[in-house]
Amino acid sequence: DIVMTQSPDSLAVSLGERATINCKSSQSVLYSSNNKNYFSWYQQKAGQPPKLLLYWASIRESGVPDRFSGSGSGTDFTLTISSLQAEDVAVYYCQQYFSTPVTFGQGTRLEIK
Amino acid sequence: QVQLVQSGSELKKPGASVKVSCKASGYTFTTYAINWVRQAPGQGLEWMGWISTNTGNPTYAQGFTGRFVFSLDTSVSTAYLQISSLKAEDTAVYYCARDTPITIFGVVIHDTFDMWGQGTMVTVSS
């Protein structure tokens, strides 16, 4: 199984500042034949289901604000929120769908400092 | 409106069974597979497996064989998760989520989960 490890486990950032969350996979999730990383980021607010933010590591889902961006390839990925807003308080999860079982990171809790 | 709507919360005694539904609307049900994801209280997301809405073939992740059954009723665009012989540790929120897996040389490769149901809380307590 591919193990997804996020860092940090929790993060407190001031409003308007940058937030960065990392995710490392135990094996590459890059499919060489199409050069796509089978990797997503989700946001889960309290009492709500996860919401897709980014897929193929860096493609923003429709309707997601452009302050959210994703980068990385292979085994190391980063979610960046360029200017933190109050509504961004949530737990963020990374996910690989390169191989089964589909696996998620343990989550990173993002709070306002 | 494209959505997955799940059935309501359940309170069950140990040893009982529960059936959770996930009704799709706003899109052609058979164009997306349905995945099931468990989230224990205060914990992360755990993929339980998936069911092909074309063939009805279920695939279970390790740890979700035996007591867990995925099924469909395509006439009403609904997927089901049934859990039997419930235990306290089955207490969790269960989500359905859709994706479009493909098969390459016999290997299933999943896609991102672009839509999730609202979740169903199943509580197992005596």
- Provide the residue-wise pLDDT of chain A in tens; the chain has 113 residues: 999 999 999 999 999 999 999 999 999 999 998 999 999 999 999 999 999 999 999 999 999 999 999 999 999 999 999 999 999 999 999 999 999 999 999 999 999 99
As a whole number of angstroms, the distance between CA B102 and CA A26 comes to 23
Nearest to A49 among B35, B46, B117 (CB): B117
Note whether A38 contacts B: Cβ–Cβ < 8 A. Answer: yes
Burial of B13 (0-12, 13-18, 19+ CB in 10 A): exposed
What are B112's two structure tokens?
């991102």
**Residue B14 φ then ψ, to 5°:** -55, 140
As a whole number of angstroms, the distance between CA A85 and CA A59 comes to 21
Q: Which residues of chain B have pLDDT under 50?
A: none
Note whether B46 contacts A: Cβ–Cβ < 8 A. Answer: yes
As a whole number of angstroms, the distance between CA B14 and CA A108 comes to 33
Q: Which candidate, B96, B115, B113, places its Cα nearest to that of B22?
A: B96
CB contact under 8 A, A101 and B117: no
CA Rg value for chain A: 13
Note whether B61 contacts A: Cβ–Cβ < 8 A. Answer: yes
Q: Which candidate, A23, A21, A44, places its Cα nearest to that of A95?
A: A23
Report pLDDT for B109.
87
Cβ pair B119, B94 in contact under 8 A: yes
What are B13's two structure tokens?
């005694």
Report pLDDT for B102.
87
| Cis? peptide before B14, omega within 30° of 0 | no
CB contact under 8 A, A49 and B35: no
Report pLDDT for B35.
98
CB contact under 8 A, A40 and B112: yes
Q: Which residues pair with A73 in a beta bridge?
A: A76
A61: which DSSP letter?
P
CB contact under 8 A, A50 and B116: yes
Nearest to A49 among B44, B59, B116 (CB): B116
Distance from CA of A104 to the nearest CA of B (A): 6
